[in-house]
Amino acid sequence: MTSPTPLSQRLSERLARQREQGLWRQRPLTTRPQSVSTQINGLATLNFASNDYLGLANHPAIKDAARQALNNNSNSVGSGAAHLISGHHLSHHLLEDELADWLGVERTLLFSTGYMANLAVQQVLTEKGDRIVADKLNHASLLDGARLSAAELKRYAHADMTALSRRLQQAQQAGQQAMVVTDGVFSMDGDLAPLAEIQALCQTYQAWLFVDDAHGFGVLGDQGRGSFDHLGLTPDANTVQVGTLGKAFGTAGAFVAGSSHVIEALIQLARPYIYTTASSPVIAEASRAALKQVRNDAARRQRLHHNIRHFRQQARAMQLPLMPSHTPIQPLLIGDNARTMALADCLKAAGFWVGAIRPPTVPKGSARLRITLSADHTPAQIDRLIDTLAKTCTLQEAAQKTAQGTES
């Protein structure tokens, strides 16, 4: 019998491996409002790492809605309980109705986070004997939701419709109910799922479709209605969507959109919903104001897409290793963990905050700089970033070649 291992020893060994593999993570400390110009770790910086795509997190109308909610005697800061106990406030109810009207679905249901929503949907809608068929680059919350469900999980190569068709055919032959699970916009690559082809395959094989459009809602489509609208598609009765309020909406929380049967099943059966305190009514009121901005401020969305086009044009001119994306997520593929961190550190020293993404968030060997754009970035700020990136990448490549020559 082996002797018990002290907890500190086990964790020390795991943490040491994180450092050795170049995977150590630290929490940056922000000390000013969320904006394209902010202060992180005491440094004044241009922020190219935020998911605040429309620049709404610090929008005056949304902050004013939160203040009014606090001053309203019918509201409190906290909800006080879970939705099914006494925490479902009028503000939550109105927000759900307005989100459903915006998307043209029967109902929506609020969750405290997108992670919880993705856990809930797959656990409730699938049963033992079903099959979840998931894109290999799905967000971690989708993968965890599938693993925690009773269904069998099978994955297919990213956006490979031949592989998806084969998986669905196998499920049909085995007599399994299949549910296809995919991001709408992939959070680390920035590309769109081929939803037209996926929807057609689902209809051919009578599969259900679950789309996490956290990075599509607010950004794509008429009135920001997301990836389906952007591609000229309409979700059918067997489609469920998840969106978050903490990205383009600039607030916090998430929602599930679908049929009345889906929403009622989640209310009755979803453990992440039943056993969680409802989010703040103040945040719900701020989100209602954010939804008005998302729906009505088309000029803000146009500025964002102009910035995306401008960034890509300038990056291509500088021959930067840009991945194919026409969304605010613009990854530069570096590959090596240490080099990715070194590049991010050089950018920070120059006044730019850019996300350095490493495994397991992305596959091994595909570490990258994840640059995200906002409607509030100016072309001049983007040009400064591109110029600094070009110089930094060139210097890093020269240093790497020198080091290799010294070793040989």
- List, by residue number, the catalytic residues: 187, 215, 247
Both structure tokens of 280 = 């703040």
- Cα 57 vs. chain centroid, distance in angstroms? 16
Q: Report the DSSP beta bridge partners of residue 192.
A: 185
Cβ atoms within 10 Å of 379's Cβ, excluding its own: 12
Helices 161-173 and 195-204 meet at what angle, rounded to 10? 20
At 182, give phi and psi (nearest 5°).
-150, 150
Distance, CA of 16 to CA of 77 (rounded, Å): 41
Reported in sequence order, the residue ranges of 105-177 that DSSP labels E, i.e. its strands, are 107-111, 131-135, 152-156
Output the DSSP codes for 27-64: ---B-S-SSSEEEETTEEEEE-S---TTS-TT-HHHHH
Cβ atoms within 10 Å of 261's Cβ, excluding its own: 11
Distance, CA of 14 to CA of 16 (rounded, Å): 5
Distance, CA of 234 to CA of 211 (rounded, Å): 13
**Largest distance between two CA atoms of the chain:** 73
In the block, tokens 């997301």 appear at: 226
Distance, CA of 199 to CA of 239 (rounded, Å): 9
Q: What is the radius of gyration, based on Cα positions, of the chain?
A: 22
Nearest residue to 192 (alpha-carbon basis) of 67, 324, 88: 324
Residue 15, burial from CB neighbour count under 10 angstroms (0-12, 13-18, 19+):
exposed
CB-CB contact of 48 with 388 (8 Å): no
Question: Within the chain, how many helices (H) and strands (E) appear?
Answer: 14, 13
Distance, CA of 239 to CA of 232 (rounded, Å): 15
